[in-house]
Amino acid sequence: MAVILVGFMGAGKTTVGQTLARKMQCTHRDLDDLIIESAGKSIPEIFAARGDAGFRQLEHETLVKALDHIEILSTGGGTPMQPANFDLLKAKQTPVVLLEASATTILKRIGRDANRPLVQQLGSDGLVALQQKRDPRYHELADLVITTDHLSPNQIADQIINWLAQH
């Protein structure tokens, strides 16, 4: 059974994806890691060299390849915002799970993360505004929504497994 995890940065997609893969005894891939492997550069280096548009093009190309052979895929926070990516994710017959968290939790988790270009660029208020802007798109894509604020990765993974068993 395959699962695609979406949500804003800091919602727990990578950690939950790893936990879920362990519990389901399958593989987990993080789209950002696949992009880094493809480019041979870190995310900040890709943004510095190619800008947002260049990063998003590489992200799309990597997503197309990843969707052909994924079991559990954690996407980047901006992945579903690109219309071509949204359409790919929507057309795939793979359940999409939205992990969401409050702005307070997000800021606590990633507020000082130097490896996230948008955190450095936007600051706290900008991140909150970006999260509010992206939320409707995430919800439009999601088959299941889980709020992660007060749950452990194990609890979230168990909720996903139980939901998958019922669908």
The enclosing domain of 55 has a CATH number of: 3.40.50.300
Determine phi and psi for 151, rounding to 5 degrees: -120, 145
Quick check: 85 pLDDT over 70?
A: yes
Q: How many structural domains compose the chain?
A: 1
- Give the residue-averaged pLDDT of 22-32: 95
User: What pLDDT, on the 0 to 100 scale, is given for residue 68?
Assistant: 86
User: What stretch of H or E contains 119?
Assistant: helix 117-141
Region 6-29 average pLDDT: 95
Examine the pLDDT at 98 and tell me if it is beyond 80: yes
C-alpha distances in Å from residue 122, one per residue of 16, 50, 113, 134: 26, 19, 12, 15
Query: Which tokens sit at 107?
Result: 């800021």
Q: Please indicate whether residue 158 or residue 119 has the higher confidence score (pLDDT).
A: 158
Residue 125 domain boundaries: 3-166
27: pLDDT strictly greater than 90 = yes
